[in-house]
């Protein structure tokens, strides 16, 4: 049957809409090719050290008590490192739980044959929770209204949704139910009685990375969770109690309870605080060209840097479209040949210029030479602290974007 262009456009739009509702953006690879041989195909890329990832998890496993399990947080596509790339390691190390945000992340995990608990670490919308039924996600809830919506979805499909109840004891005012008053206590009990829902855990999340704050809020969580278990007549042996993010896992061992939820820790972005955990991501590009420019000329848009000497500048084929924000204008530094090269001029959409004058007097700089934007080269490093100081934001603010903007390759 012949369809008009308008009809085809509508059908295409509906198809795209259906995909986005079912899978949640962005769509992720499954069993992708992350071979190092492909690095020359991209202008910039992320190099993921799988061995360091596995070592970080193993190190953490060895520090925990036998009855404390790990839930590896893999939201934001494994913090930009790629959940598809890292799931084989999760399976290899028998990690019993992963934490995700999107249905896509759950889909990829199940596609890798993962049989453990997949716990959502934020509240899901109704449509999202309904689409997630096929993946067996343990949902998070922290309000009676939200839990009632989950219950209705489960009843509609004749299924039971497992969930963890979030308490606001950690002070986030985000996902958790406030049990300081009688109203919150009544709602919490009511949630546990809803049909087609099964409570399998109680949790909270800490608003601050401060030892005294965590201990104060942990005491509050312990009191509230124990009250709820008794008041709602719950079976403690069938519940997982958990509060510890990466900071609490490192700094407050008594917060470990039944399970810890390390995120940044297993990816090594807490290197400055805990150097035994190694960063697994490096951000790299290559030299596109090296050109001579005389003193007195200006570099880049708006001429924000004027050369004070005759200079050799390396043209690097990456910019803010690849996640290297304009905050690095005249402030950033990259590594070439194990030496530091400062960014000159404004970071462009697809190009960044760096000064290699002082490098060239020691060694040549050639087209296709490796450039490290974040990570180590020889004995030099662009550190987490350095990046965060220039960017005035957490490293996670960047690497989650890098992961969506650049291909990932496994470090050989």
> What domain count does the chain have?
2
Domain boundary among 238, 267, 296: 267
Of the residues 51, 92, 159, 301, only one is catalytic, namely: 301
Asked about 411 being catalytic, the answer comes back as: no
pLDDT score at 13: 41
Q: Both 216 and 154 in a single domain? A: yes
Q: Both 185 and 94 in a single domain? A: yes
CATH classification at residue 147: 3.20.20.10
Q: What is the pLDDT along the chain (412 residues), one digit of tens a residue?
A: 444 444 434 343 434 333 334 444 468 889 888 988 876 689 999 999 999 999 999 999 999 999 999 999 999 999 999 999 999 999 999 999 999 999 999 999 999 999 999 999 999 999 999 999 999 999 999 999 999 999 999 999 999 999 999 999 999 999 999 999 999 999 999 999 999 999 999 999 999 999 999 999 999 999 999 999 999 999 999 999 999 999 999 999 999 999 999 999 999 987 555 778 999 999 999 999 999 999 999 999 999 999 999 999 999 999 999 999 999 999 999 999 999 999 999 999 999 999 999 999 999 999 999 999 999 999 999 998 999 999 998 899 999 999 989 999 999 8
Q: Both 210 and 317 in a single domain? A: no
Tell me if 43 is assigned to some domain: no
Of the residues 45, 69, 75, 284, only one is catalytic, namely: 75
pLDDT score at 93: 98
Q: Both 252 and 312 in a single domain? A: no
Domain boundary among 203, 238, 267: 267
pLDDT score at 263: 96
Can you give the chain as a three-state secondary structure string?
A: CCCCHHHHHHHHHHHHHHHHHHHCCCCCCCCCCCCHHHHHHCCEEEEECHHHHHHHHHHHHHHCCCCCEEEEECHHHHHCCCHHHHHHHHHHCCCCEEEECCHHHHHHHHHCCCCCEEEECCCCCHHHHHHHHHHCEEEEECCHHHHHHHHHHHHHHCCCEEEEEEEHHHCCCCCCECCCCHHHHHHHHHHHCCCCEEEEEEECCCCCCCHHHHHHHHHHHHHHHHHHHHHCCCCHHHCEEEEECHHHHHHCHHHCCCEECCCHHHHCCCCCCCCCCCCCEEEEEECCEEEEECCCCEECHHHCEECCCCEEEEEECCCHHHCCCHHHCCCCEEEECCEEEEECCCCCCCCEEEECHHHHCCCCCCCCCEEEEEEEECCEEECHHHHHHHHCCCCHHHHHHHHHHCCEEECC
pLDDT score at 276: 87
CATH classification at residue 360: 2.40.37.10
pLDDT score at 41: 80
Q: Both 165 and 262 in a single domain? A: yes
Tell me if 323 is assigned to some domain: yes
pLDDT score at 273: 58
Asked about 75 being catalytic, the answer comes back as: yes
Q: Both 263 and 288 in a single domain? A: no
Domain with 258, as residue range(s), is 50-267
Tell me if 29 is assigned to some domain: no
Domain boundary among 204, 234, 267: 267
Q: Both 144 and 229 in a single domain? A: yes
Q: Both 91 and 218 in a single domain? A: yes
pLDDT score at 22: 44
Q: Both 225 and 315 in a single domain? A: no
Tell me if 5 is assigned to some domain: no
pLDDT score at 29: 84
Q: Both 141 and 66 in a single domain? A: yes
Tell me if 312 is assigned to some domain: yes
Tell me if 327 is assigned to some domain: yes
Tell me if 311 is assigned to some domain: yes
């Amino acid at each position: 049957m012949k369809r008009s262009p308008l009809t085809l456009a509508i059908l295409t739009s509906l198809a795209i809409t259906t995909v986005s509702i079912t899978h949640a953006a962005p769509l992720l690879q499954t069993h992708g090719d992350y071979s190092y041989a492909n690095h020359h195909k991209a202008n910039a890329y992320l190099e993921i050290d799988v061995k360091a990832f596995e070592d970080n998890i193993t190190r953490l496993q060895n520090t925990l008590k036998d009855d404390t399990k790990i839930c590896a947080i893999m939201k934001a596509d494994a913090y930009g490192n790629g959940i598809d790339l890292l799931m084989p390691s999760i399976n290899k190390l028998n990690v019993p739980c992963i934490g995700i945000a999107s249905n896509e992340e759950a889909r990829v995990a199940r596609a890798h044959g993962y049989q453990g608990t997949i716990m959502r670490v934020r509240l899901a919308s109704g449509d999202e929770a309904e689409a997630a039924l096929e993946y067996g996600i343990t949902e998070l809830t922290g309000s009676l209204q939200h839990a009632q919506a989950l219950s209705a979805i489960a009843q509609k499909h004749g299924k039971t949704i497992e969930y963890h109840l979030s308490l606001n004891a950690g002070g986030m005012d985000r996902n958790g139910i406030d049990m300081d008053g009688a109203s919150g206590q009544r709602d919490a009990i009511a949630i546990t009685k809803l049909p087609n829902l099964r409570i399998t855990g109680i949790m909270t999340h800490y608003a601050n990375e401060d030892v005294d704050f965590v201990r104060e809020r942990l005491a509050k969580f312990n009191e509230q969770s124990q009250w709820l278990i008794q008041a709602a007549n719950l079976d403690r042996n069938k519940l997982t109690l958990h509060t510890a993010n990466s900071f609490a896992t490192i700094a407050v061992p008594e917060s470990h309870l039944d399970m810890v939820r390390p995120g940044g820790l297993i990816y090594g972005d807490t290197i400055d605080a805990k150097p035994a955990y190694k960063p697994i991501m490096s951000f790299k590009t290559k030299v596109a060209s090296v050109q001579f420019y005389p003193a007195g000329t200006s570099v880049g848009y708006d001429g924000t840097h004027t050369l004070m000497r005759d200079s050799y500048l390396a043209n690097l084929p990456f910019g803010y479209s690849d996640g290297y924000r304009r905050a690095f204008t005249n402030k950033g530094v990259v590594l070439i040949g194990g030496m530091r090269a400062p960014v000159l001029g404004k970071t462009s959409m697809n190009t960044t210029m760096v000064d290699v004058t002082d490098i060239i007097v020691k060694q040549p700089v050639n087209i296709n030479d490796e450039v490290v934007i974040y990570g180590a080269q020889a004995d030099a490093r662009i550190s987490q602290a350095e990046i965060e100081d220039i960017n005035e934001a957490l490293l996670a603010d960047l690497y989650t974007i890098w992961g969506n903007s650049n291909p990932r390759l496994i470090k050989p």
